[in-house]
Structure 1
Amino acid sequence: MSGGVDSAVAAARAVEAGHEVVGVHLALSRMPGTLRTGSRGCCTVEDSMDAQRAANIMGIPYYVWDFSERFKLDVVDDFIAEYAAGRTPNPCMRCNEKIKFAALLEKAMALGFDAVCTGHYASILTDVDGNKQLHRAAAWAKDQSYVLGVLTADQINHSMFPLGATPTKAEVRKEAAERGFSVANKPDSYDICFIPDGDTKGWLGERVAPVTGDILDREGNTLGQHDGAVAFTVGQRKGLSIGTPAADGKPRFVLEVRPISNTVVVGPKEALAIKEIAGNKYTWAGLAPEHPEVEFACHVQIRAHADPVPAVAQVVSTTAVTGIDGTVELRIIPAEPLNGVAPGQTAVVYVGTRVLGQCTIDRTVSAVPVSTPEMIASASPVPVNA
């Protein structure tokens, strides 16, 4: 129970369905300044009190579990490390993967519970063979299946999403009001919860020492200098401070951040079009395809609120790319180029409404060739067990 309206209504529906329900709020930060400001952040003291009031109305036990150390190691420190490596991480994906459906579920199962129930807008359906599958919510505008793409088959088997079939958020708020929940009109949280003021650049600047480096064009020519590569993200236009205009007079955008050489590569907007993405840190949400090494049709989504794009995907050897024998990756080729994709982002693969799996993007290939062979990538992939 995050302290928001969705988890409160999800808990109430679970109670009415006849389950033995215990409300749990996760304490994820020990930092000062724990009172919420507007709708920024989550998991504050105020949120904890909101959750407890809802639990009291339902008459269910309520606990606060301190996962702050796990959250720091698995989410916050990972976020810093990924940016320092020139990648663009998604902390909500890591939180779902490492905290809500790993650490929390592990503790719940150890205490004898059967499932973790949350207020995510997603659905779990059962196929003809009795296998559970993760699907989009009924209302695509509110669908949150993307951030759940990291769930494994075992985690899906022990998860519940009572809001999956709810057509609108307005209906959830109406139900909350009818139940007497004070959070009925509480605004949704947004931004990164551990950066409540929304200043990601400033927050990172206090934790990653800036090192001056070169800003290059796609051919390797030096255009200027930066005061720290961590401050740049793929697709960024402002703040480049190059001075010299491009030959065609058009603005330039960040195409790549190279942490090893501490350089930032810029180029025309057209070069942000990506024709191929791949990642060797991939998982399947439920049963894996019977023959994932055979190219299959799918849709790919690269952001929580992005439109899915038709694509083909397959698991292939990465030996030719990495030079390391025995490594594999999930390679995805969209039917039309994707814009502004950065290594570190998550690509979630769908077949129809079903979430088939996901990968953390290790490398991207631009649809616009350059005069020298180039593959836009943040770092050489490392072998993992998929």
Structure 2
Amino acid sequence: MKHSKPNRSLLPLVVAVAAISCGSAMAADEVSPVLKAAMQRDMGVNAQQMSQYLKTERVSQSQEASAQRQLGAGYAGSWIERKADGSFVFVAATAGAKALAIPGVELRRVRYSLSRLQSSMSQLDSSAQRRVLGISKLYSGVHSWHVDPTSNSVVVTFSPGASEEAIDLVAASGADVATVRFVESADKPSLVATIRGGMLYGFSPGATLGCSVGIPARRSGIAGYATAGHCGSVGTRVYVGNSTLGSFTHSNFPGTDRAYVQVSTAHTVLPEITDHNGGVVPVRGSVEAAIGAAVCRSGYRTGYRCGSITGKNVTVNYQEGTVRGLTQSSACAGKGDSGGAWITPAGQAQGVTSGGNVGADGTNCSLPTSQVRMYFDRLNPILSQYGLTLMTR
């Protein structure tokens, strides 16, 4: 197997674009001013583009299932894409022979179906699960792997000088080499733990370091919040200032990176995310956003930052263990933001911060957006696994 340049496998376009209905789309003036300001700052979205983006986001939510049905076995994924002129479009890809027009959707013909890409992804994951710490080869130079519909490939990232490790990992897994795209990256992901973000919580009275309060939720009628599993194990007590905040009642890491902290009744938990500038962003729901969608995150180290979703179902090979099913984003963060909340412009909570390619200074916010890779564990699986009810306004 040879190490080749990125293979996007995108064939000539098969385009079927229809007018986007905006009757039920959220208007730009319904979006939190805090979110609009953050998107304008971090993503260069002006008022007109914001309105057009929200229409496209609505199309992605209403037409993704339809695209999967109509494209059948040839379905190769979908995403929100930003054009060179700053406008947005919802794209669905197909590896099938035929494709009917889908209202509001741009269709593209590609080489591999999503099921074929997912098969390679599953083989890589299965191979990683079979490895035993201290016995098996752990491929420490390999950062992550995930299905990327925008390039129609399974992207495997690795450190400079570790190309043979990446190749060996793929070969050992039995994954379809033709579907793999190797990407060299100098930025090795690490957990953004041992400090805190969002609303600050620590691990001893008066602590100034810890992890981030994540998404507000209830379990059996008692309030708490979802956060990162690597922040603490079941039974770990946490504090806000000198007061006991609560304790971890559920925690999973590695494999996944999720946890739930039950909060003492002495405190009030609100369905809001702090913007670290005197404002809050209300939580409206937990509808999962598409690849390419705008998303923002809150953490005490770097504040409130926005970017877009750049990958889903990513497996990240942290030094501390492999985590599967993460979502990747270009919204920057730093150590101290672990467990913090991710939310869309429409107030749809997305997940909790896991890790990313933070540098020696503890953040990746000085990197160009194209080089930022942050990962969060998805909220809806956390709610389902732990029997939580999302708190909304």
- After TM superposition, the score normalised by the length of structure 1 is 0.26
Between Structure 1 and Structure 2, the one with more strand by share is 2
Q: Return the index of the structure with the highest Cα Rg.
A: 1
- After TM superposition, the score normalised by the length of structure 2 is 0.25
